[in-house]
Amino acid sequence: MKKLFFSVVCVIALAGTASAQTDTIIKAKVLDDGSQDAEKFYNAGIEDFKMKNFQGALINFNQAITVKADFERAYYNRGATKFEMKDYNGAIADFDKALTLAQNADSYFSRGQAKYALGDKAAATADYTKTIEVKADYAQAFYYRGGIKFEHKDYKGAIEDFTAAVKIKPDYAYAYNDRGSAKRMLDDIDGAISDYNKALISNSELAFIYNNIASAKRKKGDFKAAISDYTEAVKLQKDYYVAYNNRGSAKVDAGDYKGAIEDFNKVLELKKDYAYAYNNRASAKYKLKDYKGAIDDCTKAIQLDANYGYAYLNRAIAKEMMRDNAGACADWKKAIELGVESAKNYTGDCK
């Protein structure tokens, strides 16, 4: 009936509050026979969307739908626009409508993303599964479903989905990264390192992959290699405080306490309320027998997070060396209260 005129490629990056850096690309074929108003509004909406003028896009898609009530792609794109505007319920209603008009894999997938953004992981999983039913080679659906399985600590299930994703899309760096992480959670550190390496072959510009491979190597006890990979991570992303904090810890492990302190200092320059860096710097200072410095750092960590059990544990350990047994006991007891079981080993002599 309608003559296909030209097609526009619409890039809609779906990203929720918790999601970013996604490499998911949704290619929506946009149709316009040029002679109809609905299609004109529709195409104008896509232009607005590309310019991130979501309000404008919304008005145009609304117009398109007003003109043409069964315009399936317009519903889909309006849903995508609402998603960007964080109106997830509105987005879901549009994807629902689009799905009554056509069983499109993208609609299921995008609805899954919106449901995930609303925290309904079970419904999101169901939509990703539906996506795969409609389109068996939908790599992103496998990838995101794997991610939810990971969050539910179903690492084996996650690995299956990530594996399916990389089979479909062999350069899927994210999927390799995440599969590596799932393997790491299963204590398959060698498998994790191998996957992180594959991720880096696909994309060597992603700082977090370097960070992750470094952490896997640190876990293996290969502190030197870990430090070198963390260094790559912070080269790629200068403000990557997580990696600085990790490199500092790896330096403590390797016995380079002064170097570690420099790293933790750097973290605190980048993110001055990062309690972990204070806590970890205390560990380095303790090793250098700067017990007072260690106590001060733990105190700062506790000021930032009053429920920081490990900071209490560590402060007690430093206090013991300062011959402050009463103080140490009070801190160990507080640590136990906050769930740090190992502190129970130390309270035997406490009154």
Partner 1 sequence: MKKILYILSILLTANAFAQNVEFTKDNFKDNKDGFKEAKKNLEMGDDLFAQGSVFYRQALDPYLLAQKFNPNNALLNYKIGKCYLYSSYKLKSIPFLEKALELNPNVDPQIHYVLGKAYHLDMQWDKAIAEFKKFQATITKPSEFAEIIEDVNKHIEECNTGKELVKNPIRVFIDNVGPEVNTSFPEYGPIISADESVLMFTSRRTGTTGGGMDELLMEPFEDIYVSFNKNGKWTPAQNAGKPINTEGHDATMGLAPDGQKLLIYIDEKGNGNIFECDLKGDTWSKPERMNKNVNTDYHESSASLASDGKRMFFVSNRPDGMGDRDIYMSTLDEKGRWGKAVNLGPAINTKYGEEGVYIHPDGKTMYFSSQAHKTMGGYDIFKSVYDETTKVWSTPENLGYPVNTPDDDVFFVVSASGKHGYYASISNNGYGEKDIYMVTFLGPEKPMVMNNEDNLLASQTAPVKETVIAPVMQIKEAQLTILKGVITDAMTKKPLEATIELIDNTKNMVVATFTSNSSTGKYLVSLPAGRNYGIAVKKEGYLFHSENFDIPATAAFQEVTKDVELKNVAVGSKIILKNIFFDFDKATLRPESTNELERLTKLLQDVPTLKIEIGGHTDSKGADDYNKKLSDNRAKAVVTYLIGKGIAADRLTSVGYGEEQPIATNDTDEGRQMNRRTEFKILSK
Rounding to the nearest 10 degrees, give the CA dihedral for residues 151, 250, 270, 261: 150
Out of 54, 71, 108, 346, name the contact with partner 1 by CB under 8 A.
346
Out of 42, 108, 208, 291, name the contact with partner 1 by CB under 8 A.
208
The reply on whether position 202 binds partner 1 by CB under 8 A is no
The reply on whether position 181 binds partner 1 by CB under 8 A is yes
Question: Scanning residues 296 to 335, which ones bind partner 1 (CB under 8 A)?
Answer: 310, 313-314, 317, 320, 323
Give yes or no for a contact between 267 and 245, defined as CB atoms under 8 angstroms apart.
yes
The reply on whether position 60 binds partner 1 by CB under 8 A is no
Query: 47 vs 154, which CB is nearer to partner 1?
Result: 154
How far apart are alpha carbons 328 and 347 in whole angstroms?
Answer: 9
Out of 38, 46, 252, 336, name the contact with partner 1 by CB under 8 A.
252
The reply on whether position 211 binds partner 1 by CB under 8 A is yes
- The one segment of 2-10, 53-61, 128-136, 204-212 that binds partner 1 by CB under 8 A: 204-212
98: Cβ contacts below 8 Å, ≥ 6 apart: 72, 73, 75, 76, 79, 104, 107
Task: Write the interaction track for partner 1 spanning residues 151-180; mark x where CB under 8 A is met and - where it is not.
Answer: x---------------------xx--xx--
Give yes or no for a contact between 175 and 169, defined as CB atoms under 8 angstroms apart.
yes
The neighbour count for residue 129, using CB atoms within 10 Å, is: 14
Q: Give 88: exposed, middle or buried? Use CB within 10 Å, 0-12, 13-18, 19+.
A: buried
How far apart are alpha carbons 141 and 164 in whole angstroms?
Answer: 10
The reply on whether position 244 binds partner 1 by CB under 8 A is no
* 6 SS3 class: strand
- The one segment of 83-91, 99-107, 131-139, 281-289 that binds partner 1 by CB under 8 A: 281-289
How far apart are alpha carbons 121 and 19 in whole angstroms?
Answer: 14
Rounding to the nearest 10 degrees, give the CA dihedral for residues 337, 301, 244, 285: -100
> Cα 222 to chain center, whole Å?
25
Total chain residues near partner 1 (CB under 8 A): 48
Specify the length of the chain in residues.
Answer: 351
State the DSSP code for 4.
Answer: P
Out of 45, 147, 149, 261, name the contact with partner 1 by CB under 8 A.
147
The reply on whether position 19 binds partner 1 by CB under 8 A is yes
Query: 73 vs 179, which CB is nearer to partner 1?
Result: 179
Out of 49, 71, 109, 144, name the contact with partner 1 by CB under 8 A.
144
Query: 99 vs 277, which CB is nearer to partner 1?
Result: 277
Give yes or no for a contact between 117 and 101, defined as CB atoms under 8 angstroms apart.
no
Query: 49 vs 346, which CB is nearer to partner 1?
Result: 346
Q: Look at strands 26-32 and 6-12 and give their pairing.
A: antiparallel
Query: 60 vs 215, which CB is nearer to partner 1?
Result: 215
The contact set with partner 1 (CB under 8 A) reads 18-22, 143-144, 147, 150-151, 173-174, 177-178, 181, 184-185, 206, 208-209, 211-212, 215, 242, 245-246, 249, 252, 276, 279-280, 282-283, 286, 294, 310, 313-314, 317, 320, 323, 340-342, 345-346, 348-349
